[in-house]
Every structure is written in structure tokens, then in C-alpha cells.
Structure 1
Amino acid sequence: MPTTRRLLLISTPVGPLGSGLGGGVELTLQNLCQGLRARGHRVTVAAPEGSALAGVPVVEVAGQLQPTAHTQGRNTPITLPGDSVLGNLWRYARQHQGEFDLIVNLAYDWLPFYLSEFFDTPVAHFVTMGSLSEAMDEAIRQVARQFPGRLGAYTRTQADTFGVANTFVILGSAIDLAQYDFCASPGEALAWMGRISPEKGLEDALEAAAMAQVPLKILGKLEDANYWQRLCDRFPEAADCYLGFLPTAELQQVLRQCRALVMTPRWVEAFGNVAIEALACGVPVIAYARGGPAEIVQPGVTGWLVPPDDVPGLATAIARIDQLDRQACRRQAETDYSLDALAARFEQWFESIIQALER
């Protein structure tokens, strides 16, 4: 059994845990903490004020929230608001670093990468998105040069976007399978889940569902109100399809009764936790062959991959849903995406970092 470690995980600075503003990072953090604690590690999370994480000690840190990286341009200058929660989180980490064996950064922001060399306690960086800005790319490459082995990513596709893929440890993701119930006999509707924001491509799912003449249920955080209004103007049925941002228990009750999950990312999705949530319910996944979903879906077994931005291709795949075995979807989730499997992968990564310094 590996040594019990004292771990400080620093959350995303874009919103409190539980708000949905952090997207898939929030679910990853919850599941990683649960898995690591089950393996005996002492886990503390530092996160913006107002955060809640079931069963995990959370240090709430005040300050102004950080702008989300995916809403900035590739050449947008680095920004740090006055009384920044990001700065305050990393001030806390520096002040308390002696209490921990390892600090784990989950913030997709320039500052933690820059600060790595100024910490005595090692800092590991789990990078949660693909390449979005020149400044972040350079910060990540700098860590790759100075601290080999300190970078982790969800998928190889995501790591490839930074040009230093061979320096990343690929760790995947997971969910608490006990929270998702299998459904063998779904209704007629499809599901779409995610932040309602342009890079998620919801309009393609709405158009494909209309072409296939099947209803669509929309679940997720309404992040961009102007974008949503444009969708409602174009697709009047969209407002009636939107069920909101639901807690896991309620979400899976809706999701498991759907015939398939449709994923339509316009960007390189780092992973796609919604895909494994669907698989856990026995729901096949129809996704663009772009980013993380292309490494999750097993074509012809647990879903279909469609050429990126090919809306008629989505409609064709929808017509083939019934060829897929929903039991195979649940099996893939149980085999590849359990909490213990995720925690074991991270544990091995953490040990490699700590032991490299102890030698």
C-alpha cells in the first residue's frame, strides 16, 4: 500500500464548487477527492468562497472570481482582478505548503504555472482544457522544461494541443458509478448536456434532432444568455427542451431514460465527463470525432463518432442508435471509469513526483 499522503488540491478560480461555473472540473475534483480519501490519503481542498464538496474539508477563500479561459482570445493578455481569488488561493497555498506533501493545481490559469518554481512543496498541475491561449501554452511548456513529470491531462488528444504531449501523464476521468442507475428501456428523447456556451455547439444537436424528428432534452448551466437567446430565436422549441442545471441524482433520472447523448463540441474537448455519465446509465454516446470524446466512444459498441461539424452525420447516427447494446455502455463505464481506478492513476503520478524529490 502506498504511503498515506497529505494533499492540497487547489480548485478552479472561476466559481464556487457546486455552482456549475467550473464545468467538468467540479465533477473531476469531487470524484478525485472521494477516490483518494477511500485509499487513505488526507485531502484538503482550497476553493472560492461559497464552495461545498461532500465529505471533504474545504478551505473557502474570498476574492474576485477569474474570467473563464474559454471566453478569452488566443492573444488576450493575462488578467488578475483586484483582490483576486486566484491570487488569494495561491497565497494560502504558499503560507500552508509545509503542511502538505504535494499541492495539486486544477486551475487553468497562468499564475499557478508561473509560481511552481517558488514553492518548496512540489506542485503538480492537472491541466483541464486544451490549448486556448499563447500565454497559457508558454506557461505549460515552461513547467514541462523545468519540472518534467509534473503535468497531467485527461486525454492524449488534449495534451497534443500544447506541443509537448510526451511530457504529460494521461489520467482520464471517472464518476461515482453508484450514483447512476442503468436503464434498459429508454423513451424517445435524446439528451444534450453541458455548459450552454458557443464552443459546445448546442445548435448542431438541436438541428440534428429536428432532422431526425426526435425530441431533445437539454441539461446544463446556462452560461451565455445572449447565445441562448439566439438559439431560442432560431429553434423556438429550445426553451421547452431546457430542464436546467440539475444535481446528479435528478440529472441521472432524466439522462438514463434517453435513447442517446449527443455531444457537439466546436473546440477540442479535454475529456467530456458527460459521456461517461451517460455510459454509466447505459446511454450510448453520439459525438463529433474531436477531442476527448473520440477517445471515450467505442464506435459501433457504445456509440457512434461523426466527422466534426457534420450535422447530417449526427442525424444518420441517431437513426442507428438501436443497433447498440446499452449493457455494453454500462460495462465500459464500470471497467474504465471507476473512482478507484482514477484515484490509483493519480496516486501513482503523485508518488512519482514526491519520490523524485526524496531521492
Structure 2
Amino acid sequence: MPSSLRLLLISTPVGPLGSGLGGGVELTLINVVQGLRARGHQVTVLAPEGSQLGTVPIVQIPGQLQPTAHTQGRNTPITIPDNSVLGNMWRYAQRQQDQFDVIVNFAYDWLPFYLTEFFCTPVAHFVTMGSLSDAMDGAIDQVAQDYPNRLGAYTRTQAETFGVADAFAILSSAIDLDLYDFCASPGNALAWLGRISPEKGLEDALEAAAMAQAPLKILGKLEDADYWHRLCDRFPGAADCYLGFLPTHELQQVLRQCRALVMTPRWVEAFGNVAIEALACGVPVIAYARGGPAEIVQSGKTGWLVPPDDVQGLVDAIAAIDRLDRRACRLQAETDYSLEALAIRFEQWFYTILSTR
């Protein structure tokens, strides 16, 4: 088994890296690349044209972007646009596969799962969302049956949504801790961080902040403009709370000064990278006990878990936030979510795949 692997990582086709359109997948991909390169592996990244990944070289692939999975219905037919970037990336991968030991798919799309059997180089799939469509469930189930060990997920909760949880390697996530500064003495504001889209439940955070009479800072990609306009009509001060989609350095300068991060997902969040970004700054996390955040937050120690959709529960947790030790939050991030820890988990997954081909 080679100690240094040649890896091809294929990004999400919904938007260029750095655009924010890929949500947490972008941050995960960046951190996996950094961690694996630090451990001596050769990493090549395929991504849509216009992508940026710091100093990491990218093979940029042109083509039309893919629709986002979370905006489709469970029974929406599989669609691939003409001259799709998804198809173009996988055509490149097929032609270059002999140059790599493992190909790693980060796209939550049907096509890569279907193509698994047509590759000689093993294709590993890091599944980045919970169950959203019947077609994807079928494709994932087929890979689970035919290619054991080829599936990875953030959390057990996420994997269980597909009904084949035991087929998944649970890999969690990570951040570059050096990019996040600890703050022991915050201001009065709360933070909400994520894509502004209905499944993220921003209205619950706005309502809870108003009930608690606490200022709220909203950060993230404005994905659904109609939804945002409805929120602004309902909460007239929302527009003044929105600080935009900020790069990591600026984001953590705002986040670390907040008393808590409020997470209000209406769906089964696969992980919730924003939670570990907050913890790295020493910021406790108040989250609905749904999906990934329920596996991250140590309730009563590094935050509070609240029954899903319970706005009054959020208000009660806000009132109790000052009981928590912010240093415990930073310690959890350092212990569980370092780049090296993430890279080791992925590395072990790849070695398992290669040893059971």
C-alpha cells in the first residue's frame, strides 16, 4: 500500500469554489485538501470554471452548472443540462483515471454514483447531504450493495436517512484552527450563519432574538431572494442585521465577538460546519436537536440543544448561555475537528477501499 496516494477530488457542480453556492461542501473540500497535502499525499482538484482554492491548483472545467439538490422535490426527475460541468468533470476523470489511486466524489448528484462501476480506479463518494430524493437514495443503495466501503458521510444521523447507515464511513469535518481566534469576552449580539434559504429556518432565529431582546448578526450567502424578501417584510430590522457573505478572516472577526451562534435547520443538516467555526472562536452553539448539530453540540457544556422548531426553547437557551465556559468550546474544536484529524480519517478510508478492491 503506497504511503503517498495520488488523489483526484471532484468538487460539487452547483457553483465555482469560493462562490458560496456549494455551502459547507466548499469548506469541507478545502480542509480535506489541506489536511491530505500536509500528510504527503498528491491531491488534484477538479472544479467548475472560476473556482478558487487558495494556493491549491485546480483543474477548471467549463460547462453549465447543476441545479442544487435541496431545491428539488423527492420525485424530481434526474436532469443534466446540455454541456453540463458535471458531465465534463466526470469525462475528464474517466480519461485521466490511470493517473490516480482513488477518485473522490463530493457531488450530491446521481451521475457519479451511476458511473462507479465503469471506472477501473476506485471511486469513493463523500455524501454531503441527507436523503433528499428517491433517485439519489436508489443510486446510493446500489453503491452500498455493490461496492462496500465506498460511501462516506459526515455523521451517523445523516447516514441513517438513507437506510444503509452501516455502509458509510463516518468522517465528520474540520476547520483550519489557525484561522479562528478565541474570544473570552464577547459583546451582546447573537450570530446566525449559513445559506439564506428556507430549509435553514432563519425566521426562527429572528423571532427568538426579538423575544430575547438580543441583537442578531446574520452572515452567509443570500441564495433565495424571494425568501429573504418575505423575511424582511415580516421582520423589518432583518436587512440591517445582514452583514453578507464574508471571507473566513472577516467572518471570524464578527463571529468571535458574539455571545452564541443560533442554528435553526428545518431539515436534517448533514453536519453543520458553522458550528465548529463558532466553537473554534469560543462561541457556544444553540441548535435544534436535529441532524448533524445534535452530534456536535455537547449540551450544557459547549452549547444547548433545543427541541426542533421550538422557538421558546431557543429563547430559554439564550437566557442560559452565560453559564457556559467559552474555553470548553475552543477545546472541543481543537480535540475533535483539527485538519490533521480529518485527514487521518479520510486517509484510513482510502486505505480500506484499496485493500478491499
Measure, in 1, the Cα distance between the counterparts of 2:28 and 2:72.
23
1:56 to partner: Cα distance: 1.6
- 2:295 matched to which residue of 1? 295
Q: Which residue of 2 aligns with 1:63?
A: 63
Query: For 1:79-102, what per-residue CA distance to the aligned partner results, in whole angstroms no more than 9, with x for missing partners?
Result: 000000000000000010000000
Corresponding position of 1:235: 235
1:261 paired to 2:261? yes
- Contact persistence 1:279–1:333 (CA under 8 A): yes
Whether 2:251 is the aligned partner of 1:251: answer yes
Alpha-carbon distance between aligned partners in 2 of 1:270 and 1:25, rounded to the nearest angstrom? 10
Deviations, residues 75-131 of structure 1 (Å, cap 9, x unaligned): 000000000000000000001000000000000000000000000000000000000
Q: Which runs of 5+ in 1 are unaligned?
A: none
Q: How many residues align?
A: 357
Aligned to 2:37: 37
Aligned to 2:244, the other structure's residue is in SS state coil
* SS of equivalent residue, structure 2 residue 239: helix
Cα deviations by residue, 1:166-196 (Å, 9 ceiling, x for unpaired): 1000000000000000000000000000000
Q: Is the 8 A contact 1:153 1:169 kept in 2?
A: yes
* TM-score calculated relative to the size of structure 2: 0.99
Name whichever of 46-55 and 240-249 sits farther off.
Answer: 46-55
Q: Deviations over 1:59-79 (max 9, x none)?
A: 000000000000000000000
Partner Cα separation in structure 2 for residue 206 and residue 300 of structure 1: 23
Hey, which bits of structure 1, 4+ residues long, moved more than 4 A?
Answer: none
Residue in structure 2 matched with residue 12 of structure 1 by the alignment = 12
Equivalents in 1 of 2:179, 2:191: separation in Å?
Answer: 18
Matched, 1:103 2:103: yes
SS of the aligned residue for 2:356 comes to helix
Opposite residue 227 of structure 2, the aligned amino acid is Y
Distance in 2, Cα, partners of 1:355 & 1:144: 17
| Aligned mates of 1:340, 1:34 — CA distance in 2 | 9
Deviation at 1:57, TM superposition (A): 1.8
In the alignment, structure 2 segments of 5+ residues that lack a partner are none
Q: 1:150 & 1:283 partners in 2: Cα distance? A: 35
Tell me which amino acid in the other structure corresponds to 1:199.
E
AA paired with 1:230?
Answer: R
Q: Distance in 1 between matches of 2:177 and 2:55?
A: 17
Q: Secondary structure at the match of 2:59?
A: strand
Q: Which secondary structure does the structure 1 equivalent of 2:47 belong to?
A: strand
Given the two structures, how large is their TM-score scaled by the length of structure 1?
Answer: 0.99
Q: Is the 8 A contact 1:196 1:220 kept in 2?
A: yes
Question: Following superposition of structure 1 onto structure 2, how do residues 171-186 of structure 1 map, counting pairs within 5 Å?
Answer: 171-186=171-186
**Residue type at the aligned position of 2:161:** T
Aligned 1:185-334 pairs, distance under 5 A: 185-334=185-334
Name the SS for the 1:125 alignment partner: strand
Question: Whole-Å Cα distance in 2 between the matches of residues 255 and 278 of structure 1?
Answer: 7
Does 52-61 or 178-187 show the bigger shift?
52-61
For residues 159-178 of structure 1, the aligned pairs below 5 Å read: 159-178=159-178
2:153 aligned with 1:153: yes
Distance (Å, rounded) in 2 between the aligned partners of 1:9 and 1:351: 16
The corresponding residue for 2:3 is 3
Identity of aligned residues (%): 82
1: CA distance, partners of 2:348 / 2:266:
33
Counterpart in the other structure of 1:47: 47
Q: What is the Cα-based RMSD across aligned positions, in Å?
A: 0.7
Give the drift of 1:55. 2.3
**Aligned counterparts of 1:278 and 1:21: Cα–Cα separation in 2:** 21
Amino acid at match of 2:150: R
Provide the rounded CA distance (Å) in 1 between the counterparts of 2:355 and 2:39.
18
* 1:324 partner letter: L
CA drift of 1:279 comes to 0.1
